[in-house]
Amino acid sequence: MTESTMRVINPATGENIEEIPISSREEVDAAIERARGGFREWQGFAGLDRAEVLHEISARMREHADELAKVMTLEGGKPYIENHDEVGWTAACFDYYGEIARDSVGYLPAPIEPQQLALVVKEPVGVVACIVPWNFPLLLAAWKVAPALAAGNSVLLKPSEETPLATRRMIELMGSLPDGVLQGVYGAGNVGDALVRHPGVDMVAFTGSQTTGQKVAHVAADRLIRVNLELGGKDPFIICDDVDIDIAAQGAVWAACLNAGQVCTSSERFYVMSEVADDFVEASRSFVESLNIGDPMDRSTDIGPMINGPGREKVERHVGEALEKGAKLVAGGERYGERGFFYKPTILTGVTPSMTVMRDETFGPVVPVVEVGSLDEAIEQANSVPYGLGANVYTQDFEKMLKCMRELKAGTVWINDPLTDNDAAPFGGQNGSGIGRELGREGLEAFRESKHVHIDPKVEKKEWWYPYGPDDESGQRTM
Ligand code: NAD
C-alpha cells in the first residue's frame, strides 16, 4: 500500500481484496468543478425527467442485485442475505424520491394583500457532499443521494475506507445521470474532512459516529453551511410481561445481532419486567446458541464477522469491563474461528447503568439484560443515556404502547416489530444521535432551500412608506 492507495480487506478472512487509489486534493478540486457544471444542467431538468432517471437507476440496481450483494459481503462481512435485501431497499429509495420530488416544488401561503401572490419555491442547495459509514454502504448512501438528486443537487459521495467497492460499482451503474451530477470520492477521514472544508461544497450529509459527527458539525458551523447528521445510538429494548417471551427473545436477539450488532439502531440495552426476566434470558440463550456463525457468503449464515480488529476489540473491552464489575456471562463472550473478525453473540445479566456496555455504543452482538420492576422504571432507564436514535418495545397492552410512544426519547419507536425502516417515514436521532432527518418528506426537505417570492401586480405607493408625519390639517395620514 502506498500513500495514494488504500487496501480493502475481507473481514471474514483478513485477506486483501483490492487496493484502490485514494482521491488526491487535485482530484477532489476537479470533481467539485465538474459537480458545479453538472448541477447547472441537472437543476434545469423537469420533475418527470428527473424521476425517469431515478427509476432507471433503481432498475439497474435491481438487475445487478446479486453482483452488488456479493461485493458488499466480501468487503463488509454482512451476510449475503442481508446485503441482497439492502440492494432492494436501496433501489426502492430511488423510486420513492423520484416520485415524491415531482409531487410538489413549493406551496402558496396566503398573501398579505388580496391582489398579491405569495409563493414558496423549493430549490436545490447546490453541490452536496455525502459521507457514509461501512455498515450499510449502499442504503445509507441512497438515503442521501436519492433525495439530493431528486431535489436537483449534484453529489460527491464518499464511502467509508472500509467498503468503497460496492459504492464504486453503484456509481458506475448510474451512468444515466448527466456528467458530474454524481461522483465518488475515495479515502479515509482526511478526505472526508477536505470535502467538508471545500469552498465548493454547499452542504454536507453525514452518517457516522458521534465523535466524527461533532468534527463535521464544527467545520460546517465555521463555514455556515447546511449539515445533516445521522450519528450513533445506544438503543433500548423494553420487554413487558404480557407477550410471548420466545418471540420477544428472538426479536431481541435479532435486533442486537443483525449485522453482528453493527447497525446504528442495534438494540444495546434490554429492560425486561422481572416476572419474565429469567424466561427471557433462557429463551435468548437457547436462540443465540442455535445461530449459524461463519462465512457471510453462505446463504445459511446468520452472523458474519465484525468489520475489523478495532471494532471487535471495542466489544471485548465493553464485555470485559462488565464482567470485571460483576456482570454474569450467559452466552458467548469470546472470539469465533481462527481467522477474520468474528465474535460470538453474547448475553450478559447483572449489568448496571455505570458500566460502559450500558452507556457507550458497543456496536457488536451483545445482549445486556436488566430486570425492571415497572414500565416507568424501564422508560426512565431507557431515556438515561445521551443518545436517542431508536427504541423498541414488546407489549400487547395498548395503554403501554401509547405510554412508550409518548415518553421514550427516540427518533423511532418500534412496537412489536424491531428495526424496520419505511422510506415514507422520517429516520434520525434525538439527543446526541443526530440533527435532521433522512427518509420521508423531511428527507427531501433536507436537500432543498426555501425561497419566498412575493408578487404585487400593481405598481403603487404604499401607505406605510415615508413620510410618517400627518399630511392633512386634522393630523391624520391620508393614505
Ligand atoms: P466514522 O464516524 O468513523 O466514519 C464515518 C464516515 O466519516 C467514513 O466515511 C469516514 O471516512 C468519514 N470521516 C472520518 N473522519 C472524518 C472527518 N473528520 N470529516 C469528515 N468525514 C470523516 O463511523 P464508522 O465507524 O464508519 O461507522 C459506524 C458509526 O456510524 C456508528 O457510530 C454508527 O452508529 C453510526 N451510524 C449511524 C447511522 C444513522 O443513521 N444514525 C447509520 C449507520 C451508522
Using the mean position of ligand 1's atoms as its centre, give its distance from the Cα of residue 274 in Å: 37
Does the pLDDT value for residue 43 go beyond 70?
yes
Q: By 3-state DSSP, what share of the chain in percent is helix, strand and coil, each rounded to 5? A: 40, 20, 40
Ligand 1 atom at shortest distance from the alpha carbon of 193: 19
Confidence of residue 469 (pLDDT cuts 50, 70, 90): confident
3-class DSSP state for residue 401?
helix
Question: 194 phi and psi, to 5 degrees?
Answer: -60, -35
Question: What is the distance between the alpha carbons of residues 194 and 31, in angstroms, rounded to a whole number?
Answer: 13
Tell how far the Cα of 479 is from the centroid of ligand 1, in angstroms.
Answer: 61
Provide the percentage of residues in the chain whose pLDDT is more than 70.
Answer: 98
Residue nearest to atom 13 of ligand 1 (CA): 189
Distance, in Å, from the CA atom of 9 to the CA atom of 75, rounded to the nearest integer, reads 6
Report the C-alpha gap between 62 and 95 in whole angstroms.
11
Where are the chain's structural domains? 5-231+430-454, 235-415
Does residue 478 have a pLDDT over 60?
A: no
The grid coordinates of residue 24 equal 488526491
List Cβ<8 Å contacts ≥24 apart for 18-23. Answer: 18/165, 20/164, 20/165, 20/168, 20/186, 21/186, 22/186, 22/187, 22/188, 22/191, 23/185, 23/186, 23/187, 23/191
Instruction: Determine how many CB atoms are found less than 10 A away from the CB of residue 285.
Output: 18
The yes-or-no answer on residue 113 being catalytic is no
Which atom from ligand 1 is nearest to the alpha carbon of 215? 18
**pLDDT band at residue 475 under the 50/70/90 scheme:** low
Instruction: Give the pLDDT confidence of 217-270 residue by residue, as tens digits.
Output: 999 999 999 999 999 999 999 999 999 999 999 999 999 999 999 999 999 999
pLDDT of residue 155 exceeding 50:
yes
Over range 453-462, report the average pLDDT: 96
| pLDDT number for residue 2 | 61
Is the domain defined by 5-231+430-454 classed in CATH 3.90.1170.40?
Answer: no
Q: Which of 75, 82, 161, 230 is catalytic?
A: 230
pLDDT tens digits, 91-140 = 999 999 999 999 999 999 999 999 999 999 999 999 999 999 999 999 99
The pLDDT of residue 470 is 72
Q: Is the pLDDT of residue 273 over 60?
A: yes
Q: How much distance in Å is there from the Cα of 33 to the middle of ligand 1?
A: 26
What is the torsion angle, in degrees rounded to the nearest 10, for the CA atoms of residue 396, residue 399, residue 405 and residue 407?
-130
Task: Tell me how far the alpha carbon of residue 55 lies from the centroid of ligand 1, in angstroms.
Answer: 28
**Which pLDDT score is estimated for 1?**
47
Instruction: Find where cell 458551523 sits.
Output: 221
Rounded average pLDDT over 332-355: 97
- Architecture label for domain 235-415: 3-Layer(aba) Sandwich (3.40)
CA angle 72, 76, 79 (to 5 degrees): 75
Q: Taking CB atoms and a 6 Å cutoff, what residues make up the pocket around ligand 1?
A: 131-135, 140, 158, 160-161, 188-189, 192-193, 196, 207-209, 212, 215-216, 230-233, 264, 361, 363, 389, 429, 434
> Among the atoms of ligand 1, which is closest to the Cα of residue 230?
41
Rounded-to-integer distance, Cα 51 and Cα 197, Å: 31
Instruction: Give the distance (Å) from ligand 1 centre to CA of residue 162.
Output: 11
d(CA 259, CA 453): 48
Question: Mean pLDDT across the stretch 380-409?
Answer: 98
Query: Quick one: pLDDT at residue 106?
Result: 97
Task: Tell me: pLDDT of 293 over 60.
Answer: yes
Q: What is the mean pLDDT of the chain?
A: 97
Q: Which of 145, 156, 198, 264 to mutate to test the pocket of ligand 1 (most atoms within 8 A of CB)?
A: 264
In this prediction, residues 343-365 reach a mean pLDDT of 98
Q: Is 193 helix (H, G, I), strand (E, B) or coil?
A: helix
Kind of pairing, strands 448-455 and 182-184? unpaired
Residue nearest to atom 44 of ligand 1 (CA): 264
The predicted model scores a pTM of 0.96
- Average pLDDT for 398-404: 98
Atom of ligand 1 nearest to the CA of 427: 40
